[in-house]
Amino acid sequence: MKKMLLLILCCSVLLLCACAASGAPAKAPVTSDTLYVRAVPDLPEDFILGVDASSVIAEEQSGVRYHDFAGEERDVFAILAENGVTHIRVRVWNHPYDRDGNGYGGGNCDIEKAAEIGKRAAAAGLRLIVDFHYSDFWADPGKQMVPLAWKDMGIEQKTEAVYDFTRESLGRLREAGADVAMVQIGNETNGALCGEKTWFNIQVLMQAGAKAVRERCPGALVALHFANPESGAYADYAKKLAYYGVDYDVFASSYYPYWHGTLENLRTVLGEVAETYSKKVMVMETSYAYTPEDTDFNGNTIGEGSPVTKNYPYTVQGQANSVRDVIETVAHTPNGIGVCYWEGAWITVGGSSREENAALWEKYGSGWASRFAAGYDPDDAGRYYGGCAVDNQALFDAQGRPLESLKLFALVRQGNELPPVPDAIEDSFLTADVNGTVTLPETVNAVMTDDSREAVPVTWETDAAALAGMTAGGPARHEIRGEAGGLPASCTVEVVAHNYLTNPGFEQGDLSGWRVEDLGGADELFVEDKANDSLDGRWHMHFWSAKPDSVEFTLEQDVTGLRPGAYRFAVSAMGGDAGEQEIYAYAKVDGETAGTAPMAISSYGNWDTGCVEGIALGEGQTLTVGVYVKCAGAGAWGKLDGAALHSAG
């Protein structure tokens, strides 16, 4: 054991194998000619840089082979270890098989798989983080299903079952030679665990698991694992755990940057738990896409155009920068001890068709779920079973070759600050009026390898005639491709209907184009600069009056020179304390009412839109559009914004 610890220490400190001690050949230090890495200052030497490798056995059974940077087929754990990874995480399901022994998929991660992974990881000098789900299949904030064999148990019996299962499983891991560093009691247990949904029962089960860890692996840390740091719930979870006196060491979080809020928030919420309760904290799962492309014929959770936060490009460098920033955040959080990358070796099983892959997913469990899981989890796995949804977030490509980003785990310690070069081009967006012209940008922002931005000239694959055709074609969305800094660029052009109003959203900062008639003597009636209270932009029309029955006014605009035809007018309002109210949008043609649309104000932020349709306008006629507002209540207030007059054919 001591020799093993020494080996790990030397590997992580010197990035050289302690090889004289083990007799293995000397390992070269990790270097890269292309990956930019800014060193994380003051990164503790014992900081955990983990990779979850739960599906590796099922992958290998399906024919996947892993290669090192020299192109040699090697043990995946050795490849991870020589690139700076210190820990392997593995999930454990109780019994992920149907009655006939067919695996549910997702790696068929039972304790035997975990034991083999633990053994091979230890042989590579890697310690183990054990992730007990206490379920027969995936447990996460969406589901925490009880194992089938425990489904009829009351809480007392289940508590005993958790204790026994944990104890026996850890015994099996130790017997296999795994170097257990940490044990998680539950996976992403946001208010549920093992079918229990009350905190009283959840904490009883956590206590039982923790007790088994203390007895069986006294040197290991006990971790509890939650998700959604952006939810604001962590302080409450930690408070409950303290109230019940749950025995644990590490408060761990998932952090997927697409969904889980800012790094600043992550640091804040973990830091609060760390300082209030003197707990260690870490990120137990993170990952980032190195490409938008799918490689296994099973759609991915993240791809081009996914409606998620995209703070880094989907490139190998973007992936490395994302993980590097998570490492820095945790390292600089009080009691921050580590970061684990999720399923870094889960790649396509490599067939050339979905059918070919599906046969392997079903046989070896290398997809996220097989059809055999339907009996246990009919609503999710039973419907959507298939392959890997995160193959584009692995640290290996589709052929099992390591991505340059794998070197991050070694390089993050000393840095690799190469001269920055363009890595990707930020997408451009512009809006064009059907009556206007499309002017494409001449420069676009390159995302540099060091995550800075630099303007670079761009060439678009289009011409003046094509651009004119876009506006002539009416409202539609177009995508134009281009090239900048040797990289592909894209500009989305949204052609929108022409708004015939002057100053339609008051963004000129005054009443330009508009006419106000104050019929009730309101205390306040003016154009206001306050983005939070505007429907769009910064400005809106504001009204307020202390006395009852003093809000009554019209706000209107004349529009001349319009072509004969049909028009549509819309305007929006929000407000409150209106009392009895009469509010409507209206249109007049040559002074005669041509249509009205009722509106209502209710409370802050509830915008109501009035839309006058089918306004018929003849040759030379003047169109007047506006809004009438009358509120009887004392202190009635409101906002008007977003007026639009469009042609309706």
Q: Rule CB under 5 A: which residues touch Ca ion?
A: 294, 296, 298, 300, 388, 391
Please return the burial class of 82, using the count of CB atoms within 10 Å of its CB with bins 0-12, 13-18 and 19+: buried
- Minimum Å gap between C-beta 386 and Ca ion is 8
**Residue 404 one-letter amino acid:** E
Q: d(Cα 110, Cα 94) in Å, to the nearest integer?
A: 6
Annotated catalytic residue within 59, 60, 82, 188? 188
Contact 137, 376 (CB under 8 A): yes
CA nearest 145: which of 111, 184, 100, 94? 94
Specify the residue for token string 């630099």. Answer: 454
Specify the residue for token string 């999710």. Answer: 380
CA 329 to the chain's CA centroid: 17
Q: d(Cα 508, Cα 476) in Å, to the nearest integer?
A: 27
Which residue's CB is nearer to Ca ion, number 59 or number 391? 391
Q: Two tokens at 538? A: 């910064």
CA 228 to the chain's CA centroid: 10
Q: d(Cα 321, Cα 256) in Å, to the nearest integer?
A: 14
188 tagged catalytic: yes
- Minimum Å gap between C-beta 570 and Ca ion is 43
Residues comprising the chain, all counted: 649
Question: In 358-379, which positions are buried (b, 16+ CB within 10 angstroms) versus exposed (e)?
Answer: bebbbebbbbbbbbbbbebbee
Which residue's CB is nearer to Ca ion, number 294 or number 608? 294
Which residue's CB is nearer to Ca ion, number 290 or number 500? 290
- Minimum Å gap between C-beta 300 and Ca ion is 5
**Residue 42 one-letter amino acid:** D
- Minimum Å gap between C-beta 397 and Ca ion is 13
β-pairing verdict for 280-286 and 250-254: parallel
- Minimum Å gap between C-beta 451 and Ca ion is 26
528 tagged catalytic: no
- Minimum Å gap between C-beta 294 and Ca ion is 4
Q: Two tokens at 443? A: 């420069």
CA nearest 406: which of 34, 7, 118? 34
> Where is 155: in which H helix or E strand?
helix 155-176
Question: Which sign, positive or negative, has the C-alpha torsion 470, 471, 473, 474?
Answer: positive
- Minimum Å gap between C-beta 286 and Ca ion is 19
- Minimum Å gap between C-beta 380 and Ca ion is 17
Which residue's CB is nearer to Ca ion, number 130 or number 390? 390
Contact 77, 121 (CB under 8 A): yes
Helices marked H in 298-436? 316-331, 354-364, 381-384, 408-414
Contact 612, 475 (CB under 8 A): no
The partner residues of 253 in beta bridges, in order of sequence, read 226, 283
Q: Which of the residues are catalytic?
A: 188, 285
